[in-house]
């Protein structure tokens, strides 16, 4: 069996564009992967085309060898664009491998360590005024964990007002969902270390499962500072790290309790399995970053099935196109995802549905601005 063609399709999915990768072979088997990278979709497609050219004529089952070649044979290697392209190709090769051998990917990764995958939802992230409404809906539907964002609007309020307002909002959320539902907060590294510490302390009475990205991903010393403050809240980071080498300093410095590799950005299944093993050695849990499409969810779920240190998986219920692109939807019940026993990733996409919603050039994240008009981080 040899690889004959690699295609990319960019589909507008309501909240973002999905980048779908299809690897085809002369046997008729094909594999699906996802390389979604918001606002850099065309760049990633070009990278998939360039990296994928070296796979034409090759045996698709040699996933580790192909990963090594695609990563190491480029003198200019790594970074979010190349590693996202690599991730999409890697997922597709694992899908092909499972189909060729007639087994689900998680069995190729070592077999199941659990029966189902716990999920958390988004509440009030896209529409902050809906936080309580979203939360009530999710609890009624059986979800036991949810995450929201620690900011509102394009213009940041003065810090003391922002912290007070957000702490009040999380207090209302805790009162609405009760003591047994886990709450997470994502700061996206928007504040200074000192402001992150103040915010985490203000939220302490509401018992967060974790506080995500208190600092920018390239500033590990600030994360060390937040950790040293002794906030007694678990810290999570890693959605904007792209390799095992990126994650290793966080683990060695012991500044996080949870890491969040993205299966669409951190080199795919091959690399994220290694990242998980590194984290296990430091007793750190995995909560994969996963706001993308069905193949991203599938890849993350198969990894989660096969590793012992999985914690919880992000799941965006507001994705309107997920069900219409999947020929057979996965089962979500009582806040958990059941991974099907079908070969490969277990996802078959409707290509007509993919083509029915073409790429929309989106506005990049509108940067937040301070009161004086200067640029703040998104």
DSSP 363: P
Whether 108 contacts 98, CB under 8 Å:
yes
Whether 210 contacts 236, CB under 8 Å:
yes
SS3 260: coil
Alpha helices in the chain (DSSP H): 41-52, 63-72, 80-101, 105-108, 131-140, 159-177, 193-203, 220-228, 244-253, 268-281, 294-306, 322-325, 351-356
Catalytic residue among 122, 188, 302, 336, which? Answer: 188
Alpha-carbon span 61 to 101, nearest angstrom: 10
Task: Please report where in the chains the tokens 């077999």 appear, as a residue.
Answer: 111
Task: Give the contacts of 189 (CB within 8 A, at least 6 positions apart).
Answer: 213, 214, 215, 216, 217, 219, 377
- Which residues are registered as beta bridge partners of 23? 6, 31
Angle between helices 268-281 and 63-72 (to 10 degrees): 90
Catalytic residue among 66, 122, 289, 336, which? Answer: 289
Whether 41 contacts 66, CB under 8 Å:
no
* Catalytic (active site) residue 188: yes
Whether 272 contacts 303, CB under 8 Å:
yes
Closest CA to 110 of 269, 311, 290: 269
> Which residues are identified as catalytic?
188, 289
């Amino acid at each position: 069996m040899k690889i004959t063609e690699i295609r990319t399709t960019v589909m507008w999915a309501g909240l973002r564009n999905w980048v779908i990768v299809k690897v085809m072979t002369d046997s008729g088997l094909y594999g699906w992967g996802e390389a979604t990278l918001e606002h850099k979709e065309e760049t990633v497609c070009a990278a998939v085309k360039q990296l994928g050219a070296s796979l034409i004529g090759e045996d698709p089952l040699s996933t580790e060898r192909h990963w090594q070649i695609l990563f190491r044979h480029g003198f200019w290697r790594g970074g979010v664009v190349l590693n996202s392209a690599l991730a999409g190709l890697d997922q597709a090769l694992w899908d092909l491998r499972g189909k060729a051998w007639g087994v689900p990917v998680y069995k190729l990764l070592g077999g199941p360590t659990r029966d189902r995958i716990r999920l958390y939802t988004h509440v009030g992230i896209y529409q902050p005024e809906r936080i309580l409404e979203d939360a009530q809906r999710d609890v009624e539907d059986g979800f036991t964990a949810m995450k929201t964002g620690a900011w509102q609007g394009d213009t940041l309020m003065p810090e003391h007002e922002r912290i007070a307002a957000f702490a009040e909002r999380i207090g209302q959320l805790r009162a609405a969902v009760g003591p047994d539902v886990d709450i997470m907060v994502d700061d996206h590294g928007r504040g200074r270390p000192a402001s992150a510490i103040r915010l985490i302390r203000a939220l302490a009475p509401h018992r967060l499962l974790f506080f995500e990205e208190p600092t920018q991903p390239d500033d590990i010393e600030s994360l060390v500072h937040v950790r040293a403050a002794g906030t007694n809240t678990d810290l999570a980071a890693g959605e904007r790290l792209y390799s095992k080498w990126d994650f290793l300093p966080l683990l060695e410095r012991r500044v996080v309790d949870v890491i969040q590799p993205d299966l669409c950005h951190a080199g795919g299944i091959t690399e994220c399995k290694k990242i998980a093993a590194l984290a296990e050695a430091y007793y750190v849990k995995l909560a994969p970053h996963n706001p993308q499409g069905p193949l991203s969810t599938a890849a993350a779920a198969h990894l989660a099935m096969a590793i012992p240190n999985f914690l919880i998986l992000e799941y965006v219920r507001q994705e309107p196109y997920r069900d219409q692109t999947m020929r057979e939807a996965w089962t979500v019940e009582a806040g958990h995802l059941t991974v099907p026993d079908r070969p490969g990733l277990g996802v078959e996409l409707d290509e007509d549905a993919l083509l029915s919603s073409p790429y929309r050039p989106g506005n990049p994240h509108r940067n937040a601005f301070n009161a004086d008009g200067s640029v703040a981080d998104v």
